[in-house]
Structure 1
Amino acid sequence: MSHDRVNVNAGYLTYITLLSIVPLLTVLLSILSSFSIFSNTGQVLQDFLIQHFVPAAGDAVYSALNEFVTNTTKMTAIGSTFLFVAALMLISNIDKNLNYIWRVKVKRRAVFSFSMYWMILTLGPVLVGASIVVTSYLTSLKLLEHEALTGAYNLFLRWLPAILSYFAFVGLYLLVPNKKIYFKHAMFGAFVATALFELSKKGFAYYITQFPSYQLIYGAIAAIPILFLWIYLCWMIVLVGAEFTAALGEKEQWSKLEGVIQSVADNSTDIKEQHIDSPDSKSE
C-alpha cells in the first residue's frame, strides 16, 4: 500500500469523483427515465443510495446533488456530451488505478475499454432499475403479509446495503483488472472492503452527530467537506480491498521466492561445509 501510494490515489479519485458525480448521476437518471417502466425508479434509487451509503448529513448532500442534477437539464447538447465524457473519465480512472495495483502492463484495446465503459453506463442502470421494480412487486404480494415472511424480509432489507456492497466489490475486483483473478481472492478482498465500509459508516456517522464542530466552521457549505471526506474514505477502502485481493494473487510468487532463497541458503551452507572439510582448509 505504501509503494502504490494508496492515500494519494484515493485523493486523486476523490477529486475526479467530485467532478464526475453529478454528470454520472445525470446520465444514470436520464437512462432510467427513458424507459416508462422505470419512471419513478431513479428517484427511489437516489433516495436509497443517500440513505444507506452516505452516513449522516445525507439530507444536505441530497439537496445539493438534487439542485446540481436539476441544473444540468438546462444544458445544451454540447454540454450534455461533456457530461457523458466526464462520467466515462471517472470509470476510466478507476480502471487505471486498479490495474496499477495488479501490476498489469498489457492494457486493453481502446475499443474494448470504451465498449466496457459504455456497457457499465447503459446496462448498469437498467439492471439496477429492474431489480428495484422486482423488489417493489414482491413487496406488494400478499405472501409477505405472513408474520414470518415479513420478519425475514425486514431482516433482508436491513442487510441489503451490506450485501449490495459486497457483490459490488466482488465484481469490481474480479472484472476490472486486465488479469486473471481467482474468485476466492475477490471474495476475500470484497469481505475486507465491506467490513471496513460498514465500520466506517458507523464511525463517520458517530463523528458527524457527536462532534458537529464542522457546522460552526463551514456553516451553510458544510455538506461539501463532509461529502469530500466521505468519498475519500470510500476510495481508501476500495483500494485497500484491492491491495488485499492482489496480495493473495501474489501468494504463489511468495512461495516460489521463499523456495529460491532457501535453495540459495542451502547451497551456500554446502559450499562452506565443503570448504571446511577440504585438505587445503585443514592445512591452513
Structure 2
Amino acid sequence: MNINLIMKQTITEMKAVVLRFSRAQPRWWQRYAKRCVEDQITVNAGYLAYVTLLSLVPLVAVGVAIFSAFPGFEETRVAIEHFIFNNFVPTSTDTIKEHISAFTGNANQMTAIGVSFLAVIALLLIRNVDTTLNRIWRIEKKRPLMISFAIYWMVLTLGPVLLGASIGMTSYIVSLVSFADQGIPGFSGAIIKMLPYLISMIGFIMLYTLVPNTSVSFKAAVPGALFAALLFELTKKGFALYISHFPSYEVIYGALATVPILFVWVYLSWIVVLLGAEFTVCLTQDMEAAGVDTCSEFDPPDAQGL
C-alpha cells in the first residue's frame, strides 16, 4: 500500500479520535479517574517503588558487569550515568552519585556467581512491572514461565547495551546539530532541550506496546507516551522546586535525607508510568468504540507483547 495513503488514513483516524475525545469532556476524565482508582495506582506505585529500590543495586551491578565485559564501553557507561543524573533525577546530590560510583566499583570485584544472584533479584523488578501493566490492561492470560524468563533475561542483558548505543547516537546527533547552530542561533540548544522528552517518549512507547501480553495499538501508545513524558517532566521540575525551596527532608533526616528523597522520586515516577498506561488503555477503548482499526500497517501482526 502507498505510504502516503497510509499516513493520510492514520491522520484521519487520529483526527476522529481527537474529536471524539474533545466531545467526551469532562466525562472522559471521570472514566479515566475511575479506572485509576479501581486499579489502585498509588498502591501499585508504592509497591513498584519498594521493589525498584530493592533491585537498584543489582541492576547497577549487572549493568556494570555487562559493560565490563566490553572494555570499549567504559566511556559509554560514564556518559549514561551523567545523562541520567542530569536529565531524569531532579536535584541529584553528590551523595547519590558517590553511592552509585561505590556500587559500580564493588560490582567490578564480584564473581560470576554473585552477579548471577543479583541478576535474579533484578529480574523480580521486571516481572513485577510486567504483572502490574497486564493488570491495568485487564490481561489474565500469563506467558509460559520459560518464555517469560527468556524475555526478562533478554531485557536485562540487552537493555544496558541498547541504552549505551542510544546515548552514543544522541551524542553524534548533538555534534551534528551544533554545526547547524552556526546558521540558526539557538537551534542546537532547542534540540538538546527536547532530547529528554524524546527519549522519555520512546521509552514509554516501548513500555506500553511491548510489555502487555496483548496487541497494543501504536496509535494509542503515542498519545499515551506523550502524556506520560509531559507529566514526567512537570513532575521532575515540581519535585526539584520543592526540594530546593522546602528542604524539610534535610532538616528531619540530616545526612540520611538522600534515602527518603530517592524513594519519593521513584514513587512519583512509577505513578507517572501507570497514569500513562491508564491513558493509553482509555484511548484504545475510544478507538475501538469509534470503529478505528487499532492494528495498522505499522503495528506488528498478531503482537502478543514482549
CA change 1:160–1:139 in 2 (3 A) is: closer
Report what 2:125 is aligned to: 90
Q: Distance in 2 between matches of 1:168 and 1:140?
A: 23
CA change 1:150–1:137 in 2 (3 A) is: farther
Asked if residue 109 in structure 1 is aligned to residue 128 in structure 2, the reply is no
Q: What is the percent sequence identity of the aligned residues?
A: 48
Match of 1:209 among 244, 251, 256: 244
Report what 1:129 is aligned to: 164
Higher Cα Rg, which structure: 1
SS at match of 2:39: coil
Moved more, 87-96 or 241-250: 241-250
Asked if residue 37 in structure 1 is aligned to residue 102 in structure 2, the reply is no
Q: Normalising to structure 2: TM-score of the pair?
A: 0.77
Report what 2:63 is aligned to: 28
Write the deviation string for residues 84-126 of structure 1: whole angstroms up to 9, x where unpaired: 1111111111000000100101111222212221221222222
Post-superposition shift, 1:43? 1.1
Q: Distance in 2 between matches of 1:135 and 1:159?
A: 12
Structure 2 stretches lacking a partner, 5+ long: 1-35, 292-306
CA change 1:145–1:249 in 2 (3 A) is: closer
Report what 1:174 is aligned to: 209
Q: Normalising to structure 1: TM-score of the pair?
A: 0.83
Structure 1 stretches lacking a partner, 5+ long: 257-284
Report what 1:281 is aligned to: none
Contact 1:26 1:72 in 2 (8 A): yes
CA change 1:29–1:241 in 2 (3 A) is: same
Asked if residue 231 in structure 1 is aligned to residue 266 in structure 2, the reply is yes
Report what 1:272 is aligned to: none
Contact 1:143 1:149 in 2 (8 A): no
Q: State the one-letter code of the partner of 2:240.
A: A
Post-superposition shift, 1:157? 1.4
Post-superposition shift, 1:213? 2.0
Contact 1:10 1:232 in 2 (8 A): yes
CA change 1:129–1:67 in 2 (3 A) is: same
Report what 1:78 is aligned to: 113
Match of 1:11 among 46, 49, 70: 46
Match of 2:222 among 152, 168, 187: 187
CA change 1:12–1:111 in 2 (3 A) is: same
Q: Distance in 1 between matches of 2:47 and 2:185?
A: 44
Higher helix share: 1
CA change 1:215–1:106 in 2 (3 A) is: same
Asked if residue 251 in structure 1 is aligned to residue 286 in structure 2, the reply is yes
Q: State the one-letter code of the partner of 2:155.
A: I
Moved more, 185-194 or 117-126: 117-126
RMSD: 2.3
Q: Distance in 2 between matches of 1:79 and 1:98?
A: 30
Q: Distance in 1 between matches of 2:70 and 2:262?
A: 30
Report what 1:159 is aligned to: 194
Post-superposition shift, 1:44? 1.0
Q: Distance in 2 between matches of 1:188 and 1:138?
A: 25
Write the deviation string for residues 232-278 of structure 1: whole angstroms up to 9, x where unpaired: 0000000111111112223367679xxxxxxxxxxxxxxxxxxxxxx
Write the deviation string for residues 165-200 of structure 1: whole angstroms up to 9, x where unpaired: 011001100110011111111111111111110100
Q: Distance in 2 between matches of 1:6 and 1:166?
A: 20
Q: State the one-letter code of the partner of 2:37.
A: S
Q: Distance in 1 between matches of 2:165 and 2:197?
A: 19
